[in-house]
Amino acid sequence: MPSAEASQSNLHCSEHDHKKCVSEALDTAEHLCVVRGVQLTPIRHQVLELI
């Protein structure tokens, strides 16, 4: 049986907007690439979407 802490932890995760986090992380990565004069390759973009 899951503990009360685990249930609260799962509730917190279900309220989290992961798509927004991913979008913000990708925006930040793209901005940093522009500033640094480098490219965010398609494979690195995909990796960032997954993590």
Tokens, residue 51: 């993590």
Which parts of 1-51 are beta strand (E)? none
**Greatest CA separation for the chain:** 52
Q: Tell me the domain boundaries of the chain.
A: 18-51
**Under 8 Å between Cβ of 49 and 27:** no
Look at residue 17 in the predicted model and tell me its pLDDT. Answer: 84
pLDDT value of residue 16? 80
pLDDT tens-digit profile of 1-45? 555 555 455 555 567 888 888 899 999 999 999 999 999 999 999
pLDDT at 9: 52
CA 24 from chain center: how many Å? 7
pLDDT of residue 12: 55
Phi-psi bin for 37: left (phi > 0), alpha (psi -120 to 50), beta? left
Tokens standing for residue 4? 């009360």
pLDDT confidence of residue 14: 67
